[in-house]
Chains A and B, each alone.
Chain A
Amino acid sequence: MILADDERRMLDGAEGPAVQAAMELLVKYGEVLGAERLIDTDNVCGANIFNAQQRKLAGGTLDDVFAQISLDSPGGFEIPRARAHSCQLIGPMDTLEWQVQGVPQETRDAILDSESYSARHGIHLMNTCTPYQVGNVPTRGEHCAWMESSAVIYVNSVLGAMTNVEGRESAAAAMLTGKIPYWGYHLPENRHATVHVEVTVDVTTNRDWGLLGYAVGKVAGETVPVLTGITDTPNLVKLKHFGAAAATSGGVEMYHIPGVTAEAQTLEQALGGPGKKPALTVRYGPAEREAAYARLNTTAADTAVDLVMIGCPHASLDQIRDVCDLLGDRKVAPGTELWLFTPRGIRLLAERSGYGDRLRAAGAVLMSDTCPAIGRFVPDGTRVIVTDSAKQAHYLPAIMGVQGWFGDTRECVDAAVTGRWEGNL
């Protein structure tokens, strides 16, 4: 790789051993990728709240844990403040409702310690998978270094920011250096669609968008799809569901919906200009929709529901209000839990708007900073979960060994109230 003078200085150790270790990691990473150079970034989202497993394996001080787990370096040096503007993504624990999660006091103290370490190092504790809902809204063309596949696909596609799906180590190295390999979606020519998805069914509800995303991810894999036939302009929540699902069943990091997403007004623009043809054209019709629904519900058989989970990716204020309205005066069934997850900032707004009181009155729990898949927690004895998120329905059964039903928000709230799953397509 060709390094600029400032990058060479970092690699030579002129900025200290931590920055040197970060630059060494970026150079190795860039060479494996086949990148020709690095690019400046001042918007980094990473994951540096360390859980018990990580602290035990790394040992030593938090500087050493950061060096080993986040920089793949033996450590023995102090970690400086982040050079780039940086934020923490979703983490392992809700600092308010940690007892609901079943987190032991000792683990809670260790996580708080790790959080304040990050804050002291200039990493904003957003603690959400959706930084774009709470103020980190990259501009079109802004080079970022973000983790979290559902956030990457959102900012690339909807906003036109430029980032690959980074990992913990590359994001941490970017925080300390303000650099990331110039590869993949940082290059304009890699952002054109090669797969054309012709949508022939109505896609209107959150559930519709989740199903479409799950189907598109399976077909598109790592490529950039373009969708036509969308007749109903989606809002943030629908595109959040769509992107999370497409990044879960495949590896989609970028898509186009001409007239909706940032970089294409027409199918021709999405494909990269006049005369460009897609390598593959597929149809998304009623049969594909049914197949996606069936695949999402393959892990579930029992209809007695233990946990209803809303807020993957983290819920918007509108979604929280919708759950309150769907609940009305009804209460969550005995033996069933209704958990909502949202960014901390939106949680404050939800409390101020009265939704916190309404949820508590119904027996539901509003949480932030984490989710059951990231924090690895469900209520004791949980066998069956219900969610309106394709992503959570995909991952939680694998991670927690539970059955998972996927449906729309109304079906999920009804399941919380009755304790039974009665959803259908």
Chain B
Amino acid sequence: MTTATVLHGRGLSGGVCEGEALVTREAIAGWGGIDSRTGTIIESRHELAGQSIAGKILVFPAAKGSSGWSGVFHMARLEGVGPKAMVFNVMNTKIALAVVVSHVPCVTALDQDPVEVIRTGDLVRVDGDRGVIEILKRKDGNASGI
């Protein structure tokens, strides 16, 4: 019998969604880091360079770089290429404002490090009201379990 891996944290913006995780251990740059017209990560020195955040559950440690962070996520939402949800560790003004203008479920301050526990390609449910993350299915096909 398997038990879904569940992480508990602080829900920041409402709603529940399921989707595929895109996970990075590196902080993400907004302006100059993501193309708001396509959702592609363009920071050439980033481990996810060339991949797209569009429709993904974006799991990352922190927001870095320019003050245009919220603006890029705001424009990406209007272009229809924003993330489906955001899960992150470090609170700062860049990510806080992006949480407000992205209009998607967001969770932080989790009891396990999401960047270590969740893997790219996992099917994840994010509950932004209760602050709960569930890994529903691992990328390798096995149900998540301990």
Interface residue ranges, A against B (CB under 8 Å): 25, 28-29, 32-34, 47, 53-54, 57-58, 68-69, 72, 147-149, 152, 164-170, 183-184, 221-222, 247-248, 250-251, 295, 298-299, 373, 394-395, 397-399
Contacts and interface: CB of A to CB of B under 8 A. Distances in A.
Interface stretch (B36-44, B114-122, B138-146): B36-44
A53 B44 contact: no
Interface in B68-84: 68-71, 74-75, 78-79
Contacts of A166: 67, 93, 97
B45 A149 contact: no
**Main SS at interface, chain A:** helix
Contacts of B75: 53-54, 57
A117 to B, nearest CB: 18
Contact of B44 (A32, A47, A152, A398): A398
B37 A33 contact: no
A398 B99 contact: no
Interface in B53-67: 62-67
Contact of B66 (A58, A149, A299): A149
B53 to A, nearest CB: 15
Nearest to A298: B45
Interface string B75-108: 1001100000000001111101111110000100
Given A149-B67, A222-B90, A250-B64, A398 B33 contact: yes
Contact of A398 (B13, B43, B70, B106): B43
B93 A221 contact: no
Contacts of B101: 72, 169
A169 B32 contact: no
Given A32-B13, A33-B96, A170-B93, A395 B32 contact: yes
A251 B71 contact: no
A394 to B, nearest CB: 8
A221 B27 contact: yes
A32 B63 CA distance: 14
Contacts of B94: 165, 167, 251
Contacts of A247: 65-66
Given A148-B67, A169-B70, A248-B65, A222 B32 contact: no
Contacts of B44: 298-299, 397-398
A250 B79 CA distance: 28
Given A53-B75, A170-B97, A398 B67 contact: no
Interface of B: 12-13, 27, 32-33, 36-37, 42-45, 62-71, 74-75, 78-79, 90-94, 96-101, 106
**Main SS at interface, chain B:** mixed
Contacts of A47: 68, 71
A33 B70 contact: no
Nearest to A30: B96
Contacts of B96: 29, 32-33
Nearest to B80: A57
Nearest to B98: A167
Contact of B64 (A53, A170, A221): A221
A251 B74 contact: no
B12 A373 contact: no
Given A168-B71, A169-B74, A399 B45 contact: no
Given A32-B13, A72-B101, A152-B67, A167 B93 contact: yes
A164 B44 CA distance: 27
Given A222-B90, A398-B32, A398-B33, A165 B12 contact: no
6 contacts: A32-B96, A58-B78, A166-B97, A222-B90, A251-B62, A394-B32
Nearest to B102: A72
B64 A167 contact: no
Q: Which of A57, A184, A250 has the most CB of B within 10 A?
A: A57
B100 to A, nearest CB: 5
Contacts of A170: 70, 93, 97
Given A33-B96, A69-B74, A169-B70, A251 B63 contact: yes
Contact of A168 (B27, B45, B70): B70
A373 B32 contact: yes
A183 B94 CA distance: 13
B12 A167 contact: no
A25 B97 CA distance: 9
Given A28-B100, A47-B71, A184 B32 contact: no
